[in-house]
A and B are shown apart, each in its own frame.
Chain A
Amino acid sequence: MAEKLREQQAIPVSKVQRAAKFISTGAKVGGNYVKHYAKKMVNPSMDKEELHANNASDIYNSLSELKGSALKVAQMMSMDKNLLPRAYQDKFTMAQYSAPPLSYPLVVKTFQKHFSKTPEQIFETFTRSAINAASIGQVHQATKDGKKLAVKIQYPGVADSVSSDLKLVRPFALRLLNMNEKELDHYMAEVEEKLLEETDYVLEIQRSREISSECGHIPNLKFPIYYDEYSSDRIITMDWLQGDHLKEWLDTNPSQKSKNQIGQALWDFYHHQVHNLKKVHADPHPGNFIVQENDQLGIIDFGCVKVIPEDFYQGYFALIKRDLLMKEEELNQIFYELEFISDKDTAEEQAYFKGIFKEMIGLLGRPFHVDRFDFADDGFFEQIFKLGDRISNEKMFRKSKQARGSRHGLYINRTYFGLYNLLNQLQAEVDTTKPDWLK
């Protein structure tokens, strides 16, 4: 009994407060629906876009106050644009840029814990407030020996709250994404694993170094240097990459040639990782890229790296072969291997899902079917969104008890959607290189 009482005294700050936050959001979202239908009675022509916009902003507000993993989920959802109605996307993309900052005393305390020194004792200058918010931490700018540095500090307790945060997000994801429960759990398990990895800054530095050195030969890419002596499992110190975020850079109206160069660097970066290294920076959101002078692309934040298992790689990328769409037998075989369909499906389900997946692959593989692809083509993206919308509203999908697709696919899909999206924002035309066995 005593034990129980103590437990309960300990929990409230985090869990109950967080839950309360979500409940209040839930209520607001509910309210938005009521408002929507009330308005609709007056003005029947009103469409659902406005409702989505209201919901998105309420959900975003609540998520960004929670920080940590919930914010990360918002980011994830904003990446999977195919899964979300348009209005949510813009709002969620904001989650990638801003979250309320940590107090400076806590920053000092974190430094003292890890280095037994205050930031002022280590660096020549150190900004009191955060320059940038990362999803599970914040970035301060510092100088040392005349060098500008970026110091990323993780929010305390994030690692501990990943699992409970995800449980809280679950009902919302269920409603927002129109997924069935099985599918969502499938998805969440992978997300949880990756999120826990992201809280390990030592691992992040190690991976950053690996990938940066292995991609160093690719033209027009720039990677920061990491400093072990000022890093720990909660703090990362690296070079400050001078330049603009993609969005800011695009506002300066760069030439098409510049945009193509950045786009190509991006494509080459991913091509090399996926096909040669078999591990990939799986977080291609705009905040992780910085455009420097002479159209060089700086890459930061290797928190989320997906290692691609060999057998999954073979099956998954075989799908982008153009002639595959003609060969029924071979295609079915791959669908089975990737767990898109299984023996538990009825004949009707099998036929239906085969059709849908074939359509998806045909669409998503399109850039690979040609030598050079123009990602400025909004029509192509329109088709993807439409297909996504259609799928999320299909009864067959929601009724289906199976989780579809190998779990490895989640982050690979996300990576490619992210990449396509960035290239679309860039309005870039790139050489869509592919490995020899896929030609």
Chain B
Amino acid sequence: METTEAKKTTKKDYRKLILEGYKTHVLEHGIAPKSVFKFAKDLKMKEEEFYNYFTTFDSIKSAVWLQIFEDTLLQVESQEVFKEYSAREKFLSFLFTWIEELKKNRSFLLSMYGEGSKNLVSLPKEANEFKDKFKDFANEIILEGKETEEIASRPIISDRYDEAMWFQAWFVFRYWLDDRSPRFEKTDAAIEKSVNLAFDLMGKSALDSFLDFAKFIYQSK
């Protein structure tokens, strides 16, 4: 990865330098840098140069999330078999790979989010951009799932499926942060089970037949 980035323009290089510099700072000091001035100085660049790439530290964090997401997508789509996957398998594959990408940054993420992970029920604002991108991806899967009838279209609720999948991804992230099992096997099991549950719920089920029947009884009274 290092080499491919380096071949690109110098502009990209600075961006990368800042991203990596930020991560390293957090990893080595355990906290975020105090000021942009100090941080830029450490990277041997001028403060105003820094603002060419990022305007706040939060936007760096946001970029970290996005980078992880994009690396995951690249990974996933490079697998031959991905195209043949069903919607359920695509989402599973995404989450499994995402966790692998997160793993590369585990220390960073732990020092950012590990301590107060119970507060993470509400989303940190720097993850918003990632969330939007994720929802685009989720909507693609949902659309495909609806086409193959893996996912049932239901009034009102089915418009919120992307939100549900986001909630699930976030649940997996929090689960993984606290996971103490070797090779994070429990997280794998959690992904497998929760995705199966989610897709079973989103798919056509006895519930639909029940609602249909209830509607019929109500209307024909």
A residues at B contact (CB < 8 Å): 2, 5-6, 9-10, 13-14, 17, 102-106, 108-110, 112-113, 118, 120, 128, 155-157, 159-160
Do the beta carbons of A109 and B174 come within 8 Å of each other? Answer: no
Within 8 Å by CB of B192, from A103, A120, A160, lies A103
Q: Let me know if B179 and A10 touch, CB within 8 A.
A: yes
Q: Are A106 and B188 in contact (CB under 8 A)?
A: yes
Question: Which size class do B's interface residues fall under?
Answer: 20 to 34
Write the chain A residue with the least CB distance to B84.
A128
Partner of A14, one of B79, B96, B186: B186
B189 touching A156, Cβ below 8 Å:
yes
Q: Is the CB of A6 within 8 A of B100?
A: no
- Of the candidate stretches B24-32, B85-93, B134-142, B201-209, the one touching chain A is B85-93
Minimal Cβ-Cβ distance residue in A for B193: A13
- CB of B190 within 8 A of CB of A13, answer yes
Q: Are B175 and A109 in contact (CB under 8 A)?
A: no
**Is residue B183 contacting chain A, with contact meaning CB distance below 8 A?**
yes
Q: Quick one: which of A17, A103, A128, A155 contacts B88, CB cutoff 8 A?
A: A103
Q: What residues of chain B lie closer than 8 Å to A128, measured between beta carbons? A: 81
Q: What residues of chain B have their CB less than 8 Å away from a CB belonging to chain A?
A: 79-81, 85, 88-89, 92-93, 96-97, 100, 117-118, 174-175, 178-179, 181, 183, 185-186, 188-196
Q: Please tell me if the beta carbons of B80 and A9 are within 8 angstroms of each other in the complex.
A: no
> Can you give 13 A-B contacts (C-beta < 8 A)?
A14-B193, A103-B192, A104-B85, A106-B92, A106-B191, A106-B192, A109-B96, A112-B100, A155-B189, A156-B186, A156-B188, A156-B189, A159-B185
For A17, the closest partner residue in chain B by CB is B193
Residues of B within 8 A of A102 (CB): 192
Contact A105 to B174, CB < 8 A, known contacts A5-B118, A10-B179: no
- With beta carbons under 8 angstroms apart, the residue of B79, B80, B183, B189 that contacts A13 is B189
With A105-B96, A156-B188 given, is the CB distance from A10 to B178 under 8 Å? yes
Nearest-CB distance from B89 to chain A (Å)?
A: 5
Residues in chain B near residue A156, CB distance under 8 A: 185-186, 188-189, 192
Residues in B neighbouring A6, C-beta threshold 8 A? 117-118, 178
A128 to B193, CA, bound (A): 19
B200 → chain A closest CB, angstroms: 12
Q: Is the Cβ of A160 less than 8 Å from the Cβ of B181?
A: yes
Q: Is B189's CB under 8 angstroms from A105's CB?
A: no
